[in-house]
Structure 1
Amino acid sequence: MTRVDVMPRSSQIRPVFEVMRMASRLRLAEPELLGLKALIRAGDHVFDIGAAYGMYTFPLAHLVGPGGSVHSFEPQLEHHRWLKLALRFLRTRHVSVNLAALGATPGEHPLASIHRRGFRPECDSGSTG
């Protein structure tokens, strides 16, 4: 039988965390990522509202570690699927990805998003809770 060593969950996310920090320094990603370390501690429970592809989800997951949790909300199906797949690949169990939007009132509302060639409304309505 072959033994396979697996890094602890937060260690598997660390490379993604470091890439996002570098991208922030190079102004390729939001500079706010650099300040997360001052606000988030191991064991914290945090929310990523409008998670998209996980620009904040991955760094947050690294910072809270397996003793904390990240609750990501993404209403667009394509982004939601990609994020769930990436987290499954990284064996991240302390992150939940919810196919939903959050808003002031419950119900379904039109969702507009920005795409490379401009602004267009999404075909489906997003549910808020």
Structure 2
Amino acid sequence: MDTANRWKRIFSKSIPATMRLYLAFSFFLYGIVKIPGQFSPPKTFTFDPSQDEPLILAWHFFGYSRFYEIFIGIAELACALLLLFPRTRTIAAVCLFPITLNITIVNFAFDISAQNYSLLLTVMCGLLLWVDRKKLVGLLAK
């Protein structure tokens, strides 16, 4: 086996595996903090756009529904766990992509400081989908 093919094989396996582990770890943490409650509970809330940051509005919006917060936390935890197993990693990436995309859009729309990080997670998830594109096209073609 020549060295170029060997390195290509190593990188084609190790980079997606590293991205899966990184996403799984990140979304395990994201999901676990939502279960006890990550967002501030809405009390009497008045938003003054001239003084308040958009982050405060977003935080109160997400904290308004405890059901929504728990639902998103469970979805993030489930995707994180599914990323760890070879048989379920493609479906995990399919389910996780809209979650990461939503987080990225909210971060940019409300000027939340984690914009670059959420964009990185979305790109990583998109790359995992690209790696598994033959499987996904095969499923859609049936």
Fold in common (TM above 0.5): no
Greater RCO between the two (CA within 8 Å, min separation 6)? 2
Look at both structures and tell me which one has the larger radius of gyration over its CA atoms. Answer: 2
Higher helix share: 2
TM-score with structure 1 length normalisation?
0.30
Higher strand share: 1
TM-score with structure 2 length normalisation?
0.28
